[in-house]
Protein backbone atom coordinates (compact mmCIF):
# COMPACT_ATOMS: atom_id res chain seq x y z
CA UNK A 1 0.00 0.00 0.00
CA UNK A 2 1.01 3.59 -0.57
CA UNK A 3 0.34 6.85 1.19
CA UNK A 4 -2.09 7.12 4.09
CA UNK A 5 -5.22 9.22 3.65
CA UNK A 6 -7.56 10.21 6.46
CA UNK A 7 -11.20 10.47 5.37
CA UNK A 8 -13.25 12.67 7.69
CA UNK A 9 -16.91 12.27 6.73
CA UNK A 10 -20.10 11.85 8.75
CA UNK A 11 -22.14 10.27 5.92
CA UNK A 12 -21.51 6.52 6.12
CA UNK A 13 -22.21 5.91 2.43
CA UNK A 14 -19.75 8.57 1.27
CA UNK A 15 -17.23 7.33 3.86
CA UNK A 16 -17.53 3.75 2.57
CA UNK A 17 -17.31 4.87 -1.06
CA UNK A 18 -14.20 6.97 -0.43
CA UNK A 19 -12.56 4.13 1.51
CA UNK A 20 -13.28 1.71 -1.35
CA UNK A 21 -12.09 4.16 -4.04
CA UNK A 22 -8.88 5.02 -2.23
CA UNK A 23 -8.00 1.43 -1.29
CA UNK A 24 -8.66 0.36 -4.88
CA UNK A 25 -6.05 2.96 -5.86
CA UNK A 26 -3.47 1.58 -3.40
CA UNK A 27 -3.87 4.13 -0.59
CA UNK A 28 -4.06 3.20 3.09
CA UNK A 29 -7.24 4.70 4.55
CA UNK A 30 -8.16 5.84 8.04
CA UNK A 31 -11.76 6.94 8.56
CA UNK A 32 -13.14 9.43 11.06
CA UNK A 33 -16.80 10.29 11.55
CA UNK A 34 -16.36 13.91 12.65
CA UNK A 35 -13.85 16.68 13.29
CA UNK A 36 -13.16 15.67 16.89
CA UNK A 37 -12.23 12.14 15.78
CA UNK A 38 -9.88 13.64 13.19
CA UNK A 39 -8.14 16.00 15.62
CA UNK A 40 -7.75 13.21 18.18
CA UNK A 41 -6.50 10.69 15.57
CA UNK A 42 -4.12 12.81 13.50
CA UNK A 43 -1.15 12.39 15.86
CA UNK A 44 -1.59 8.63 16.15
CA UNK A 45 -2.28 8.07 12.43
CA UNK A 46 0.04 10.73 10.92
CA UNK A 47 -1.73 10.74 7.52
CA UNK A 48 -0.12 12.00 4.34
CA UNK A 49 -3.33 13.79 3.32
CA UNK A 50 -6.76 14.52 4.80
CA UNK A 51 -10.10 14.59 2.95
CA UNK A 52 -12.31 16.72 5.20
CA UNK A 53 -16.07 17.20 5.00
CA UNK A 54 -17.33 20.57 6.22
CA UNK A 55 -20.75 19.99 7.78
CA UNK A 56 -20.35 17.39 10.52
CA UNK A 57 -21.65 16.94 14.05
CA UNK A 58 -19.60 17.77 17.16
CA UNK A 59 -16.90 19.69 15.27
CA UNK A 60 -17.19 20.88 11.70
CA UNK A 61 -14.44 20.50 9.12
CA UNK A 62 -13.39 24.14 9.22
CA UNK A 63 -12.74 24.06 12.97
CA UNK A 64 -11.01 20.67 12.69
CA UNK A 65 -8.78 21.94 9.88
CA UNK A 66 -7.82 25.04 11.90
CA UNK A 67 -6.98 22.85 14.88
CA UNK A 68 -4.89 20.40 12.84
CA UNK A 69 -3.08 23.18 10.97
CA UNK A 70 -2.23 24.83 14.30
CA UNK A 71 -0.43 21.66 15.45
CA UNK A 72 3.22 22.22 14.52
CA UNK A 73 3.97 18.65 13.49
CA UNK A 74 0.87 18.35 11.31
CA UNK A 75 0.48 21.81 9.77
CA UNK A 76 1.99 20.66 6.48
CA UNK A 77 -0.48 17.81 5.92
CA UNK A 78 -2.52 18.72 2.83
CA UNK A 79 -6.22 19.09 3.57
CA UNK A 80 -8.75 18.78 0.77
CA UNK A 81 -12.16 20.05 1.81
CA UNK A 82 -15.01 18.00 0.32
CA UNK A 83 -18.43 19.58 0.60
CA UNK A 84 -21.77 20.01 -1.10
CA UNK A 85 -21.54 23.71 -0.31
CA UNK A 86 -20.09 25.66 -3.20
CA UNK A 87 -20.46 29.24 -1.99
CA UNK A 88 -17.55 31.65 -2.23
CA UNK A 89 -17.98 32.48 1.46
CA UNK A 90 -17.57 28.80 2.41
CA UNK A 91 -14.53 28.41 0.15
CA UNK A 92 -12.95 31.49 1.73
CA UNK A 93 -13.50 30.12 5.25
CA UNK A 94 -11.89 26.82 4.26
CA UNK A 95 -8.82 28.47 2.78
CA UNK A 96 -8.50 30.78 5.79
CA UNK A 97 -8.63 27.70 8.04
CA UNK A 98 -5.63 26.30 6.16
CA UNK A 99 -7.25 23.98 3.62
CA UNK A 100 -5.17 23.41 0.52
CA UNK A 101 -8.08 22.99 -1.87
CA UNK A 102 -11.82 22.49 -2.11
CA UNK A 103 -13.80 19.82 -3.97
CA UNK A 104 -17.57 20.11 -4.41
CA UNK A 105 -19.88 17.11 -3.96
CA UNK A 106 -20.97 15.32 -5.99
CA UNK A 107 -17.43 14.89 -7.26
CA UNK A 108 -15.98 12.96 -10.16
CA UNK A 109 -13.84 10.08 -8.83
CA UNK A 110 -11.16 10.53 -11.46
CA UNK A 111 -10.83 14.26 -10.73
CA UNK A 112 -10.71 13.68 -6.97
CA UNK A 113 -7.94 11.09 -7.37
CA UNK A 114 -6.07 13.47 -9.67
CA UNK A 115 -6.33 16.23 -7.07
CA UNK A 116 -5.11 13.89 -4.32
CA UNK A 117 -2.07 12.91 -6.42
CA UNK A 118 -1.31 16.57 -7.11
CA UNK A 119 -1.52 17.53 -3.43
CA UNK A 120 0.69 14.59 -2.41
CA UNK A 121 3.22 15.51 -5.11
CA UNK A 122 3.27 19.13 -3.89
CA UNK A 123 3.92 17.92 -0.35
CA UNK A 124 6.92 15.87 -1.50
CA UNK A 125 8.31 18.86 -3.45
CA UNK A 126 7.79 21.12 -0.44
CA UNK A 127 9.64 18.73 1.88
CA UNK A 128 12.56 18.33 -0.53
CA UNK A 129 12.91 22.07 -1.09
CA UNK A 130 12.95 22.92 2.59
Instruction: Indicate whether 127 pLDDT > 80.
Output: no
Q: What is the DSSP string of 23-80?
A: HHTT-EEEEESSHHHHHHHHHHH--SEEEEESS-SSS-HHHHHHHHHTSGGGTTS-EE
Say yes or no: domain 4-129 is CATH 3.40.50.2300. yes
What is the structure's pLDDT at 87?
A: 73
What is the structure's pLDDT at 2?
A: 84
Domain positions in the chain are: 4-129
Instruction: Please report, for the chain, how many H helices and E strands are present, in that order.
Output: 5, 5
What is the structure's pLDDT at 122?
A: 81
Instruction: Indicate whether 95 pLDDT > 90.
Output: no
> Stretch 78-102: mean pLDDT, rounded?
87
Can you tell me the distance from the alpha carbon of 123 to that of 49, in angstroms, rounded to the nearest whole number? 9
Instruction: Indicate whether 126 pLDDT > 70.
Output: no
Amino acid sequence: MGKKIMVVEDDKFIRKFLKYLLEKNKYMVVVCKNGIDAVCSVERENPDLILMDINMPLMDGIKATKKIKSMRDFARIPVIMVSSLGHLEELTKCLEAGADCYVIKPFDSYMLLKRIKEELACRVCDVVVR
